[in-house]
A and B are shown apart, each in its own frame.
Chain A
Amino acid sequence: MATFNISRLKWLLPAVCLLSIGWMFVSLWQLHHTIEEFNSPMVFNLQFNVAVCSFFLSTFLCFKVYIGLFKKNSNISTLLWDVFYSATFAILASLLVKSMLLYFLSSTIWTLKVWNLFEFVIYTFFIANCFFSIKKLILYQKTNRTIILWIIFELSVFASILTSFFLFKYNSLPFVLFTLPLTLLGLYLSFNVKWAAFLNFHQKLVALLLLIISFGILSGLFLDIYEQHMISGMSIDAINNAFLMAISAFVLLNISISILVLLFSLPTSSVFEQKFGEVMLFQKLHQSIQLGETEKEIHKALLESCCDSALATGGWLEMTDTNGRITSFENSGIDHIDAFNFKNLLRKNHIKITSEPQYIKDVKALSHLQKINTNRYKSLLLLPLLSGQHRLGTLVLLKDKVNAFDKEMVDMIITFMSQAAIAIQNSRLMGQALETERYREELKIAKQVQERLLPDVPHYSSDIEIAVLTGGATDVGGDYYDFYKDKAGDITVVLGDVSGHGTSAAFNMAQTKGIFQSLVQLNLDPIDFLRYANTALSRCFEKSTFLTLIVIKINPKEKTLQIARAGHCLPLFYANKQPYYVESKGTGLGVVRGKDYASFIECKVLSYAAGDSLLLYTDGIIESSNKQGELFGTDRLKNVFINYKEQKANSLLEKIFQETKAFSGKNEPEDDSTLLLLKFV
């Protein structure tokens, strides 16, 4: 609906405008014939005045709609060019009409009247265009106050069209009463020249030129009109038209003020441009913070911003870690070699980086200048990049003039740096948070994998009771146990601990389980079992990973135990009412690679009887420590075992666990710990 109205208005207004011109022409023709006398003063004629009013109204509305709607998004330059084009068009049209009329027709009063009418029409068009272009300029970066004032002004201007019905003399009191307040309001509004500030030096020059030419043309046209005013008997005396004069005064004043403002702001425009550039750079830096860009990109943005705003010849940004090691280097306008030479220069001159900015006004004042291009680099600014008390890095800026960094510049750069420090900290924290989250997910999976790898505790026969207890499972540990009973009835029990934690421990455990399950079926003795396991695991594991394992092979018929230990904690054997640790030589699996592993291990054979038991455990149990830093140790474990030896296998393990917790004063052991008890009944 709205578009329909606008498109209609678009055609309606120019049509009314053209009709009004025609009407004016016709009324003029009629008047010309009724008033025969030459040089007779203009008399009041209602029809003619209505035509003039309708012409004013339609023309102004036409331009209002045209500029307001169809040039909504034009920028300052386009508006100024429009004013210039309309001025050029007006002067050319005026000259054309003037020469045509004077050349083709004799200089009769009728010709003069037609020329006067055309001049008037052209002038009105031009003034209307100027008026609405200026409106856009005045309302640039508008405030509510300006808008209200403008609305009042525009309404008064439109209302003043009605003055055309009165034939005031331009020097009469009512004329002045009408035009003066309007002009004053216009003058006041004309001081809204904020747009001028947004032009750069070059744009300002162009704008100045355009406005001066437009001003010249406007003055020329105005002089033409004034000339016609001096010839009596003209059809329309524009000078005596309060409306037209008020607007002309406004437009002329506005253009003059704009010219003056542009002229005076020319010298400072470079400073403004620079400040504006700084703001844009600041914004860029800020955006890089918000977009969560990588640290490298923030370094780049910081260095560029600082170099640009300081107009530096070159500079570099060096990031360091907590130990002062360089983690990242970014340079701009200076190559690596020069930067390196400068760093040497600073070191040789004992200039240390502190938490304060350091300024070397003249590089030549330093010594050891052999490798430095002192023509290109004359002053140097050294700034630490600080986050709180902590130094993240150093920024060095160089300029090709002596003493070229002023205080404002340094302050600005320090502000940049503190912004960037925040950005860098944020990006680091973000990275850490993501890393932690990923790690947590991995752990969850690893834990699930691990839980599936550990078997249910079997019940092989009534005379061997087996119990297992694991704890400290806040992290994914590497404790592993497994059982196997072969056809002959021999039972193999293993308990192991893969070094490391987390995902890698879980995967290593999976490999260990695979190897156990394949080797155990070969019915090997524990030494051979460990030998093969060592070869296999040495190929699977990383160089720094190893597995401690204890292998127990139980022969229930002969009531014997074969015990082989590969770097694992010594098993506690309780036999004949005496507990003792079974000592044997034994190196961890994966420790000795490519050598005869069998020589590093030995197998103990023990007999057992009903009432005996064997306790296996991982280092988490004996390494739980109390506040004094004491370890739980093997002696305490032995004592606790004796205290509760009469209990059932499961509750005995529970008791041991409780004792370690009581000892360490923590709810859960720090390390993962596993207890495995074989109770012979």
Chain B
Amino acid sequence: MNISANKEDRTYVIIIDGEIDASSSIELDTAISDAIKKGERKILVDCAKLNYISSAGLGVFMSYLEDFEEQGIKIALFQMNDKVKSVFEILGLVDLIDIVPTREEAEKIVE
């Protein structure tokens, strides 16, 4: 699992590559909390290479929902494969976090 983050013109992009299990969820947590600390308001998460997410990984997204709302941070996940998306769906996270097919749509959401 590898997580990288790029500060781009108007957005902050977190790219996840690999599987997020209990141990690698810590890195995801660090990446998101870093973005919040830096004061980023428009966060995109590239999930094209995310092929598995465990409940711990879902827990990470979940734990920042309040922070996103309180601080007015817009976040959107894009290019997520169906397998991973179904996990978000079952837990009902799709109602709380934007998951869209393309980067363009994600950018529109955070703008």
Contact = CB atoms under 8 A, between A and B. Distances in A.
B90 A500 contact: no
Interface residues of A, number: 29
Contact of B62 (A544, A566, A570, A631): A544
A645 to B, nearest CB: 24
B93 A544 contact: no
Contacts of B104: none
B90 A568 contact: yes
A499 B59 contact: yes
A258 interface: no
Interface string B50-91: 010001101110110110000000000000000100000011
A614 B51 CA distance: 30
Do most interface residues of chain B lie in helix, strand or loop, or is the interface mixed? helix
A72 interface: no
Given A500-B22, A501-B22, A631-B83, A544 B92 contact: no
A585 interface: yes
Contacts, number: 67
Given A500-B55, A500-B56, A567 B92 contact: yes
B3 to A, nearest CB: 12
B95 interface: yes
B65 to A, nearest CB: 8
Contacts of B29: 544
Interface string A59-89: 0000000000000000000000000000000
B92 A585 contact: yes
A587 B56 contact: no
Given A544-B62, A631-B83, A591 B92 contact: yes
A344 B92 CA distance: 50
Interface string B20-38: 0010000001000000000
A343 B108 CA distance: 44
Interface residues of B, number: 19
A587 B65 CA distance: 14
A153 interface: no
Given A544-B60, A546-B58, A567 B90 contact: yes
Contacts of A627: none
Contacts of A594: 66
Greatest chain A CB density within 10 A among B22, B55, B65, B66 is at: B55
A183 interface: no
B92 A586 contact: yes
A629 B90 CA distance: 20
B59 A587 contact: no
The majority secondary structure among interface residues of chain A is loop
A570 B93 CA distance: 15
Contacts of A548: 55, 90-91
A51 to B, nearest CB: 94
Interface string A539-554: 0001111101000000
Nearest to A599: B95
Contacts of A590: 62
B55 A543 contact: no
B59 to A, nearest CB: 4
Contacts of A186: none
Given A499-B56, A546-B91, A600-B95, A591 B22 contact: no
A544 B59 contact: yes
Contacts of B90: 548, 567-570, 619
13 contacts: A500-B56, A500-B59, A542-B63, A544-B29, A544-B62, A544-B63, A546-B55, A548-B90, A567-B91, A567-B92, A587-B91, A591-B65, A592-B96
Given A587-B95, A591-B92, 19 more contacts: A499-B55, A499-B58, A500-B59, A501-B22, A543-B62, A544-B60, A544-B63, A545-B59, A546-B58, A546-B62, A567-B91, A569-B90, A570-B90, A588-B62, A588-B93, A592-B65, A594-B66, A619-B55, A631-B83
